[in-house]
Chain A
Amino acid sequence: MEITFAVILWAVRIVFLLLLYLFLIRSFRALQRALADERIAVTARQTGLAALVVTRSHAGGPRVGERMPLRAVSSVGRDGGNDVVLNDEAASAKHAIVSFADGDWWLEDAGSTNGTLLNGSRVWERARLHYGDEVAVGRIALRLERAQ
């Protein structure tokens, strides 16, 4: 009886150590899968969180169909320092801000001279942007699309 109890106890201790390692191996596997996802995510980062796709333009402006990747906060304007550069005389140097907050995309006019249109109506305060919405700045129109 004495010996069997000791043997069982020994076995339980070994099992504990084994379980520790099995759990560790499972965790490593999960981490490995996460790393594979990360590779996909890095590609996603290069294409942005979402994108503004040019739907209407003019000669000298961006090409129709061009994708402009968005960051969490992206500035839109004529100036070359913006995240989304729009070459149009009617666009202000710093025209509008597109940002991601509280789980949604938002459009805000940055004090532009000629205003920003969302689905045809002028934006006066921060407005929610849905996928598929059309943003117009000067003669250029852009549509919000999910990242590819």
Chain B
Amino acid sequence: MIRVRPLARLGELRLLVWVAALSLTGYVAVVAAAAGRFAWYELLVPVMVLAIVGALHVFLVSIGFRGDQLLMPIAVGLTAVGFVLVERLAPGLLLQQLSWLVIAAGAFCVTILIPRDLSVLARYKYTWALLGLLLLISPLLPVIGREVNGARIWVGIPGAQPGTSLAQFEPWELVKIALVIFFAAYLDEYREVLSSPPRRFGPIPVPPVPYLLPIAGMWLIAMLVMVFEKDLGATLLFFGIFLAMLYLATGEPFYVLIGLILLLGGGFVAYHAFAHVAARVDVWLAPFDSDLRFDQAYQLTQGLFSLANAGILGAGLGNGMPERIPVVWSDFVFDAFTEEVGFAGALALLAFYLVFVYRGMLIALRAPTTFLQLLAAGLSFIVAFQTLVIVAGNAKLIPLTGITLPFVAYGGSSLVTNFMLAALLLRVSDITARVRR
């Protein structure tokens, strides 16, 4: 039925060759620097990573996929850099991350195979919203909820001993996608009412109260996450995505203004009312304070020293001292990467995110329906916002939050989610290509 043309995705294949070269070189540098010698069998892990990447390419070709050819190479390129960094910073976690990559690749394929025009996503929007909310509150539930490093954002399958887990997952990661789907479907349906409401108070649009409830509800949920799950990053991301999509759908700057005022107001109250919020802000304002330097601000200040050690070309892969930052492989990969490949490398890394997000926005622009446009824009925005929040947090530009650097940072939940996100974006571009024929 489907005619398979092996070279249909030649552009993608060409870029994947660069991914392979990058991945193998980085791995050789890291292993050789650590061991002082090098043996070829040590390339087994990157070869396995590349085999999975190759399988994904073959999969896309074999189903006659017509979506974008740039997104996948960038996503797996960043993932490959991530694997080099895991080998560098936490070699013990490498096999675990590799098994997560297999699951992520599976999730990618399943998402690609979602039937036809993705309208199934829009049709069940309240189901997605409910699922998102359930996932969001799941870490608060007694048996499966887990608190890790002060944030209650994990669920785990309880192990034999009390307090241990067989497997852990951060449901928040999946919540992002569920919510973007819901926002896109909701805003697609009520865009007209929200963007040209019957009444206006001066320049301020006043839509009928029932349509305002979801916005107020989102704010309330964001605040509850901040208070009960102690997760600042999730709060910021959650509300940021919502405001950005609301603005995209309606073109009303006043909603964003009101949202920002609510967020700042909520943040101000939370700073004075809750110790964990205040601690984050204090660490950000004065990390070298003598009370904080070797205590709560230790991670951040070590990260800053790591950045300061970078220079233009960095210390060289495997030659820096990023292991002095606590939990560097998940929270501070950006600092670690920058220390070893310098300003030049960091700039390239950020440029890759730029290309990814830019491509995502182009896919959104071209998408044939409003729902698909909002969906693609929301998904690209997740990547942009996460990168901004964690890189700025690592560089002490804003208070540090527990958000992961997309595709690069160690972490199973985020790898799986990001692959699903990329797959959804690819699906939108595939639909566009088919509509335009």
Contacts and interface: CB of A to CB of B under 8 A. Distances in A.
Contacts of A9: 29, 32-33, 316, 318
A113 interface: no
Interface string B10-41: 01001100110110011011001100110000
A27 B70 contact: yes
B365 interface: yes
A102 B365 contact: no
B117 interface: yes
Contacts of B342: 17
B238 to A, nearest CB: 29
B355 A28 contact: yes
A101 B117 contact: yes
A76 B326 CA distance: 64
Contacts of B200: none
Interface stretch (B344-352, B398-406, B407-415): B344-352
A41 B352 contact: no
A34 B348 contact: no
B434 A103 contact: yes
Interface residues of A, number: 34
Contact of B15 (A27, A100, A101): A27
Contacts of B318: 9, 13
B370 to A, nearest CB: 8
B29 A34 contact: no
Interface in B284-303: none
Interface residues of B, number: 49
B366 A41 contact: yes
A17 B117 CA distance: 40
Interface in A21-73: 21-24, 26-28, 30-31, 34-35, 38, 41, 44, 49, 72-73
B435 interface: yes
B77 interface: yes
A20 interface: yes
User: Looking at A12, A21, A31, A49, which has the most chain B CB atoms within 10 Å of its CB?
Assistant: A12
Given A23-B15, A101-B119, A72 B365 contact: no
A10 interface: yes
A16 interface: yes
B341 interface: yes
B358 interface: yes
A17 B342 CA distance: 9
Interface in B128-185: none
Contacts of B368: 49, 72, 100
B352 A10 contact: no
B437 interface: yes
A55 B437 CA distance: 24
Contact of B14 (A13, A21, A26, A35): A26
A40 B74 CA distance: 24
Contact of A31 (B117, B345, B355, B365): B355
Contacts of A15: 25
Given A9-B29, A20-B348, A30 B434 contact: no
B243 to A, nearest CB: 26
B313 interface: yes
A147 interface: yes
Interface in A96-127: 100-103
Given A10-B316, A22-B18, A72-B368, A27 B33 contact: no
A49 B28 CA distance: 50
A22 B362 CA distance: 23
A30 B15 contact: yes
B69 interface: yes
Given A19-B21, A38-B362, A38-B366, A24 B117 contact: no
Contact of A19 (B25, B36, B74): B25
A102 to B, nearest CB: 5
B316 A13 contact: yes
B116 interface: yes
A75 B189 CA distance: 17
Contact of A23 (B37, B77, B317): B77
B117 A102 contact: yes
A13 B33 CA distance: 10
Contacts of A26: 14-15, 18
A41 to B, nearest CB: 6
B436 interface: yes
B384 to A, nearest CB: 15
Contact of A27 (B73, B319, B437): B73
Nearest to A105: B435
Nearest to B69: A30
A147 B73 CA distance: 31
10 contacts: A10-B316, A23-B22, A27-B15, A27-B70, A27-B73, A49-B436, A72-B368, A72-B369, A100-B368, A102-B119
The 9 closest A-B pairs by CB, nearest first: A23-B18, A13-B316, A102-B116, A12-B29, A30-B70, A19-B22, A16-B25, A72-B368, A20-B348
